[in-house]
C-alpha cells in the first residue's frame, strides 16, 4: 500500500506539517485565521501578517492557547519592503519558510460607473500586486525548503464569471490565478508547488458580510446552494492543509474549488 505520509485513517496526521513554517497574509481574521489554526494544529510554525497589529496579536494569542508557535508581524502587502521584512522576520524566528499563503484581500461592492480610479487601484494593489510582492519575497526561501515549497493564493471563481459590483476584485483575482499558473511552471524545477483555492461563500466572514449580507442577498444565496449551507472557514483550511501536505506532492498549477457545488449552478435556478 502507498504511504502518503500525511494521511491517517481518513484524516490528516496531527503532526503532518511538523518542522515547516508558514506565513499567512491576512491571517488574523476570517478565512486566514482558520488556515492559521489548521496549519498550526498540524504542527507548523505559523507567522500571521496584516496591517492591524492589535488584531494580529489577539489572534496569535488565541492560536498560542493550543500550544502553537505563532509570530504576529505587521505589513501592508502593497509595500514590497514591508512584505520583505515580514518574510525575514518569519525566517529569523523559525529558521526558514516553507509555505506562503497569499490570503490578504480588499473588496467592496460598487458599480463600475461609480468606481473611482483610486478604488480600482486600491483593490488591484492589495489583491494582485500584494500577491506578487509575497511571491517575490518568499521565492528564495521556498526554493531552499527541504520539504518542497508551497505557494497558495486564495481566489474565487467569481473572478472568471463576470462579477457585477466587484469588477476590480474580479480582475485582480483573475490576475492572481494567472500569476500562480505561470509560477507553477517556472518554479516546478525548484520543487515549489503553486496552486490557488477558490472558496464559495464562507459563513461569518467579512467577504460574505460585504457581498451578501449588506446587499440583502444572503438568504437567497444560501437556500440555492447545492449543499444548502454556506461554507465554513474550516472547509477552506482543510483544503489548504491538503495542498501543503505530502499528500499533494504531485499537485501544482491548479485551482482547488471548495464551494459546496456553487460552480455547477444553483438549485431553483433555470
Residues that bind ligand HXC (CB under 6 A): 105-108, 110, 116, 118-119, 122-123, 156, 158, 169, 201, 206-207, 210-211
- Please say which residue, 106 or 149, places its beta carbon nearer to ligand HXC: 106
Nearer to ligand HXC, 201 or 260 (CB): 201
C-beta closer to ligand NAP: residue 13 or 97: 97
Cell 514590497 -> residue: 80
Minimum CB distance to ligand HXC, residue 240 (Å): 16
Among 41, 76, 98, 235, binds ligand NAP (CB under 6 A): 76
Q: Which stretch binds ligand NAP (CB under 6 A): 63-71, 85-93, 178-186, 206-214?
A: 206-214
Cell of 104: 490578504
3-state secondary structure the chain: CCCCCCEECCEECCCCCCCCEEEEECCCCHHHHHHHHHHHHCCCEEEEEECCHHHHHHHHHHHHCCCCCEEEEECCCCCHHHHHHHHHHHHHHHCCCCEEEECCCCCCCCCHHHCCHHHHHHHHHHHHHHHHHHHHHHHHHHHHCCCCCEEEEECCCHHHHCCCCCHHHHHHHHHHHHHHHHHHHHHHHHCCEEEEEEECCECCCHHHHHHHHCCCCHHHHHHHCCCCCCECHHHHHHHHHHHHCHHHCCCCCCEEEECCCHHHCCCCCC
Name the residue whose CB lies closest to ligand NAP: 30
Q: Which stretch binds ligand NAP (CB under 6 A): 12-20, 47-55, 85-93, 218-226?
A: 47-55
96: left (phi over 0), alpha (psi -120 to 50) or beta: left
Beta strand 150-154 pairing with 193-199: parallel
Could you say whether residue 47 binds ligand NAP (CB under 6 A)? Answer: no
In the list 17, 72, 91, 126, the residue contacting ligand NAP (rule: CB under 6 A) is: 126
**Closer CB to ligand NAP, 20 or 78, in the complex:** 78
Interface positions, 209-268, toward ligand NAP (CB under 6 A): none
- Candidate segments 5-13, 87-95, 187-195, 201-209, binder of ligand NAP by CB under 6 A: 201-209
d(CA 137, CA 25): 13
Q: Could you say which of 105, 128, 194, 239 contacts ligand NAP (CB under 6 A)?
A: 105
Interaction partner, residue 245 (ligand HXC, ligand NAP, none; CB < 5-8 Å by kind): none
Q: Could you give the string, one character per residue 142-181, with x where binding to ligand NAP holds by CB under 6 A and - elsewhere? A: ------------x-x-------------------------
What's the closest the beta carbon of residue 52 comes to ligand HXC, in angstroms?
9
- Nearest distance in Å: CB 260, ligand HXC: 12
Other CB atoms closer than 10 Å to residue 169's CB: what's the count? 26
Enter the C-alpha cell of residue 141: 526561501
Single residue of 52, 61, 66, 146 touching ligand NAP by CB under 6 A: 52
Amino acid at each position: 500500500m502507498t504511504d502518503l505520509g500525511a494521511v491517517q485513517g481518513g484524516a490528516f496526521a496531527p503532526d503532518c506539517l511538523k518542522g515547516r513554517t508558514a506565513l499567512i497574509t491576512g491571517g488574523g481574521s476570517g478565512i486566514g485565521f482558520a488556515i492559521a489554526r489548521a496549519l498550526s494544529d498540524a504542527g507548523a510554525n505559523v507567522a500571521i501578517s496584516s496591517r492591524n497589529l492589535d488584531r494580529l496579536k489577539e489572534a496569535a494569542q488565541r492560536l498560542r492557547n493550543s500550544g502553537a508557535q505563532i509570530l504576529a508581524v505587521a505589513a501592508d502587502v502593497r509595500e514590497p519592503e514591508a512584505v520583505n521584512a515580514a518574510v525575514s522576520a518569519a525566517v529569523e524566528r523559525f529558521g526558514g519558510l516553507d509555505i506562503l499563503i497569499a490570503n490578504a484581500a480588499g473588496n467592496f461592492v460598487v458599480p463600475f460607473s461609480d468606481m473611482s480610479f483610486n478604488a480600482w487601484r486600491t483593490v488591484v494593489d492589495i489583491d494582485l500586486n500584494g500577491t506578487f510582492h509575497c511571491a517575490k519575497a518568499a521565492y528564495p526561501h521556498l526554493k531552499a525548503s527541504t520539504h518542497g515549497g508551497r505557494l497558495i493564493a486564495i481566489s474565487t471563481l467569481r473572478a472568471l464569471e463576470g462579477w457585477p459590483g466587484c469588477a476590480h476584485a474580479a480582475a485582480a483575482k483573475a490576475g492572481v490565478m494567472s500569476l500562480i499558473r505561470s509560477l507553477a511552471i517556472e518554479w516546478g524545477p525548484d520543487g515549489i508547488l503553486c496552486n490557488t483555492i477558490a472558496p464559495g461563500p464562507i459563513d461569518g466572514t467579512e467577504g460574505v458580510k460585504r457581498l451578501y449580507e449588506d446587499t440583502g442577498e444572503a438568504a437567497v444565496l444560501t437556500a440555492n446552494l447545492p449543499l444548502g449551507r454556506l461554507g465554513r472557514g474550516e472547509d477552506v483550511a482543510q483544503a489548504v492543509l491538503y495542498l501543503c501536505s505530502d499528500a499533494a506532492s504531485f499537485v501544482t498549477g491548479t485551482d482547488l474549488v471548495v464551494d459546496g457545488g456553487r460552480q455547477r449552478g444553483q438549485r431553483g435556478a433555470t
